[in-house]
Amino acid sequence: MFQPTFMKAPPQNSAALSLSIPLRLFTIQEGVRVLDSNTIATIKATIPVLESGGVAITEHFYRRLFSHNPELLNIFNSSHQHSGGQQVALFNAIAAYAKHIETPEALAGAIERIAHKHTSFNIQPAQYDIVGHHLLETLQELLGDTFTPEIRDAWAKAYQFLAGVFIAKEGELYKTRAAAQGGWKGTRTFIVQSKQKESELVTSFVLAPKDGDAVIDFHPGQYIGVKIRPEPDGYEQIRQYSLSAAPNGATYRISVKRESGDKPGLVSNYLHDHVQEGDAIELAAPAGDFTLHAQAGVPTVLVSAGVGLTPMMSMLEMLTTLEEPAPIHYLHACENGRQHSFKQRVTELLSQRKNLSAHIWYRQPNDEDKANQDYHAQGLMDIPGIADKLPLAEGQFYLCGPTPFMAMAKQQLLSCGVEAERIHYEVFGPHSDL
């Protein structure tokens, strides 16, 4: 049976594995050209088998992965594992790769997005060896004799080249950030400079580097990886939080929603309840491909719901500093005034900037909430209802919030005539399409 060297069972807790491919900047097109026609045909022929197996394949994969390599629990988001979101995301990624193996340009955006997310976890080449091994073994165990040596050979080759693309892209990102002014490699210790409650559910943390040096700039819309250990005897937890202020070269600000419900957020509740001013936490460098691209004379529309306003605040702060500002429209929906984060800051900006307008929806206002003062409309966000006030023909639209909200907002924009290429969005957690 074909068994390439990088797929051999890795030693436990190994940190010295190496891929058998050169670490240079592969393009997706290069990888596909190297894959022979038989390999491509074999991968495509397995698509029905993958689809019939569905998420059961990735569920088995994660059980196997964590059973043999429990140290990886220090990396993977436990909340996404419990919710099933990570399993769905991985299955969709595998299926997409198989379907588009002959049209790699369709994967470019996904690879860029995933590579950025990987760098916030400080993913290293050795971990691709481990994942590849368990992926092949999962398929072997679930498919049995139907996973023939020829099919295993094809998937090994396909995985090897895709891993090469990711390793090269992530290596490029690591190198660029480490070389930039204020940049660093791996994680860096920051001190909580201030902690401020923004609303009933959201609290902001201003973070300054312990060494007192500068911090790398970022693009508004990006996030930062936060690494903490909420339970003394538990695993490390890494979460990504959007940066909620414009870059200033000295500090970062994140604004964290307390996640409650049947399975309260382990990290968000720890940050709210236990992390105080003066405490130290570890951060990875800023990452993310959902970024503001302001153009002279082109209006920007920021559309958010709930804690989805965090990247929008960074974008808004940046837009209001431009020397040649175009119109800015800030649309936000939340439950009521108690959950209306950054209300005072947006009000200040409205008083200072004539090119800025805002429209706020409260789903269920409280008795103290005043119409046309605290909010403009009751119920869910209704973009068509204010279409005459928006730059539908030329504006760039940025969406962030719960996935159902963004799907609704995107559909409303499309129905108003906004082209899909002018609608940009960010999904918290494992990415999904709207």
Any binding-site annotation on 417? no
Residue reference for tokens 């020829």: 150
Q: Are residues 275 and 220 in contact, defined by beta-carbon separation less than 8 angstroms?
A: no
Any binding-site annotation on 307? yes
Any binding-site annotation on 222? no
Any binding-site annotation on 345? no
Q: Are residues 370 and 274 in contact, defined by beta-carbon separation less than 8 angstroms?
A: no
Any binding-site annotation on 138? no
Any binding-site annotation on 306? yes
**391: nearest Cα among 324, 343, 331, 321:** 331
Any binding-site annotation on 309? yes
Task: Specify the DSSP class assigned to residue 16.
Answer: -
Any binding-site annotation on 53? no
Query: Active-site positions?
Result: 128, 170
Rg (CA), the chain: 23
Any binding-site annotation on 428? yes
Any binding-site annotation on 427? yes
Q: Reduced to 3 states, what is the DSSP secondary structure of residue 212?
A: coil
- Alpha carbon distance 149, 425 (integer Å): 42
- Around Cβ 299, how many Cβ atoms within 10 Å? 20
Q: Are strands 377-378 and 356-362 parallel, antiparallel or unpaired?
A: parallel
Any binding-site annotation on 11? no
Residue reference for tokens 């190297």: 34
Any binding-site annotation on 242? yes
Q: Is 54 left (phi over 0), alpha (psi -120 to 50) or beta?
A: left
- Alpha carbon distance 420, 397 (integer Å): 10
Residue 11: φ, ψ to 5°: -65, 150
- Alpha carbon distance 355, 372 (integer Å): 19
Q: Is 305 exposed, middle or buried (0-12, 13-18, 19+ CB in 10 A)?
A: buried
Give the full edge-to-edge strand order of the sheet including 328-334: 377-378, 356-362, 328-334, 300-305, 396-400, 423-426
- Alpha carbon distance 211, 381 (integer Å): 44
Binding residues for heme b are 118
Binding residues for FAD are 223, 239-242, 427-430
Binding residues for NADP(+) are 306-311
